Structure 1
């Protein structure tokens, strides 16, 4: 699951960084657009005098040449302005809409005169020197103002007195009409001394009113041109139509609000879209997992995915779709868990069946000897029969055999429980396999109670040694041999073989009897899969086979069964060899 942790960490970190980057990008673009809009409005507001700083910011000086954007160059031409950029030596390194009579190189005297008079060759000029982080660069913005010159000539001609005489008023009015202009004459206090071609709405101005109208001309429908006579303390204020675009109807604040609203709506839409995408991306798999858990909670382990869900999760080529790829390990884990739960459920049902059979077998095996003991008890208690000494001995022998069988059965049951819970401690030592198996086989050969069974022992040529507890090891082999005796007819041959395989010795108990079917082989070592009767030894019971398997596993080995019906059975023990194969 480490890979999914890394993938989720990377996925959400990347999303977080991407969201921050997108928001920053949107805000940056909005601010840049607002700055661009404000600069455009600044140019429109007072292009001749207020736009040089914008031009200098837009001018790129690189490789000894200066350039401006096409939009600004186009606007300069539309407004009838010219623009030049000079280097440290006074050479023109960039220009827009420059008249032909302007020089390509400026001398010191020309620049000083231009800076002092703000005029050059009949043009009004605005200049600026830039020394920030670069070599000194001089910027010149020039324009021709015929109207201003004409207004100044009118002012100079009739400004002989504080207020023109009545005889001059018609001449002034005619000249103003030709220029579509109007005039107000103010004293030092702002009182209106005369108004020509202007309605008499006011009698005086506050000191800052005229200054405000002169600076923020775009807010008004007329442009103000002021000529001041410092000696007479008289100001002539000319009003002419405003040729620049008005932004009265749509102020900068309103534009800024519109931009803010657009940005906010865009961010909101992007956030909603991202939330919906995340809901499908992460909510879909979670809903799918919920339906899985619901089915598994109801015990339906075989159907992890319905056919519809399988098509949603997997492509036709079997690969997980993009939406669910983030949880591919989880999907795999769900499948594995479902398989394990399904297997556990099958094993539980099998265990329940085995337990019932086991309890049935134990009840049957205990009931039979108990019935015999109970019957003899009633007969002895009744006093109805007269028993001779030989009959009493026979009854006593039967009672002892039945009780010994019951004790052995209970001991086996207790041993099986201990082996299951790993509470049996082995006392192992290095044992010669040949000697141990010879001893066990001879014990069966010499047992007079076992009739019509042939035994054969085929040892390996080498002398193998194992680490074993001889008591429990002998019990294990006894149980396997008794099983072969019990479940086969008379004249069966039982062969014990030993074979060496690298670091293991293989001990095989083989018979040529009736064999077993697949179901019997599968349940051979289940506790009490086969019952017994009181005339048989408990070592051959299903309990004995379970004990044999547990003892084999305690010796770090495993047991294998091969059988074919009517051909016989071979049970092989795989026991690890001792690390030291030297005798003693």
Structure 2
């Protein structure tokens, strides 16, 4: 039942209507007591209480041999409520009083008593007049109440009102019936709209969603559903493209692993057969095997490193490093590699020495990947320049080349782990993970890496690092 109440909007509407009715009744009662009640010593009473008290007070008046007195309980009530009393005989003369204010007279005419009976609140009192009859004699008495009580008399055509009373009840019932009907109609309509929204959400999960027109009072919700569906479709498309790229990458990496394994197996079989006795030939075969083993090891290490970085399992040991000197030594190491002995590598520095907090091993790997990538995938006469400059509170390190450049389509995929650019077709060696690893390392250092390139105009990779 609880789940049904939560899932059925109509039930909620009925409960809401019931709550509104109860709230209206409570407010009505509250407003009634606020307007038609007064606080008295025993609590809150209706404003007609003083008049009723005055009329009933005669039960505490006594006539003892022509002398008018008041019972003790009556006097106690007067004192308890802070009231005053004055009893007048038939000639208008005062015969008894209790707590009477000094500004009230001792003699009254009939017109005076009538005027007092209709008087409003004044001098801190509202007075009420009644009478006490005993042995064919009548005594009028006045009681003063310290409350601002309004006295109004309503006059109406009794015959007309008696005819209108049933009609008035019918009108009230009709208005109430129409209100309930309209509320239920709105509830059914709202339930239908909520059902449409619920079906839309279910259709999104099943990928069968049809775009809803963005109009009506729920246009914001429809727009949000349409936007969510578009984003989910885009995400699904991206997932497909990522899966496709991963499959292609797996195919490429499998091929890259098989390529060095073939010569390793072949030359190892030749050595195992013992058909080659020439030491120079054995040494040559061993060098080829070692070169291909190094290549396989590099692929495996790249795979291990990228997944360690992604999962956060890679040890990170930042140190305070003098960046200018650090990069100079890095470039010298690459330039001294026989593989790149015929390439042009330059270093530019526009600032004095800068100290930054980096992990020397990981950051070396990131910058080295960028430089080697620029050297390997460009013509031999390409110049690669590494430079440092200040950028506010950050330091900017750039690796630029004047090579063949990269298209905009490839730039969007360069740092994707499963992507290998078209420039690698002629030189397929490498894991295809270099740039992805570089980005992961830069992000680990709270830095940012970007690329700008135009076909035929070279490429610039920029790394921005915080200096503190």
CA distance in 2, matches of 1:267, 1:289: 31
1:272 equivalenced with 2:181 (yes/no)? yes
Judge conservation of contact 1:405–1:534 (CA < 8 Å) in 2.
no
1:88 equivalenced with 2:108 (yes/no)? no
Structure-2 residue corresponding to 1:19: 21
Alignment of 1:321-400 (within 5 A): 321=217, 324=218, 328=220, 334=225, 337-338=228-229, 340-380=231-271, 385-400=275-290
1:374 positional shift: 2.5
1:479 positional shift: 0.5
CA distance in 1, matches of 2:304, 2:241: 22
CA distance in 2, matches of 1:337, 1:551: 33
Q: 1:437 to 1:268 in 2, by over 3 A?
A: same
Q: Which is higher, the Rg of structure 1 or of structure 2?
A: 1
CA distance in 1, matches of 2:168, 2:27: 15
Aligned pair count reads: 351
TM-score, normalised with respect to structure 2? 0.63
CA distance in 2, matches of 1:286, 1:275: 15
SS at match of 1:509: strand
Judge conservation of contact 2:335–2:341 (CA < 8 Å) in 1.
no
CA distance in 2, matches of 1:25, 1:300: 49
Judge conservation of contact 1:452–1:492 (CA < 8 Å) in 2.
no
SS at match of 1:542: coil
Judge conservation of contact 2:415–2:435 (CA < 8 Å) in 1.
yes
1:404 positional shift: 1.5
1:408 equivalenced with 2:298 (yes/no)? yes
CA distance in 2, matches of 1:132, 1:353: 99
SS at match of 1:88: helix
Structure 2 unaligned runs (5+)? 1-12, 30-109, 119-134, 146-158
SS at match of 1:276: helix
TM-score, normalised with respect to structure 1? 0.52
Structure 1 unaligned runs (5+)? 1-10, 28-85, 95-114, 118-126, 135-244, 246-251, 314-320, 580-584
Supply the RMSD in Å over aligned alpha carbons: 4.4
Structure-2 residue corresponding to 1:293: 201
Alignment of 1:342-491 (within 5 A): 342-380=233-271, 385-491=275-381
Deviations 1:177-213 (A, max 9, x none): xxxxxxxxxxxxxxxxxxxxxxxxxxxxxxxxxxxxx
1:485 positional shift: 0.8
Judge conservation of contact 1:479–1:548 (CA < 8 Å) in 2.
yes
Judge conservation of contact 2:306–2:437 (CA < 8 Å) in 1.
yes
Q: 1:371 to 1:298 in 2, by over 3 A?
A: same
Judge conservation of contact 2:397–2:463 (CA < 8 Å) in 1.
yes
1:335 positional shift: 5.4
Deviations 1:286-339 (A, max 9, x none): 1231232133123257x6x43xx323x3xxxxxxx3xx38xx5x5665456445
1:526 equivalenced with 2:421 (yes/no)? no
Judge conservation of contact 1:493–1:511 (CA < 8 Å) in 2.
yes
1:497 equivalenced with 2:387 (yes/no)? yes
CA distance in 2, matches of 1:297, 1:550: 32
Q: 1:24 to 1:341 in 2, by over 3 A?
A: same
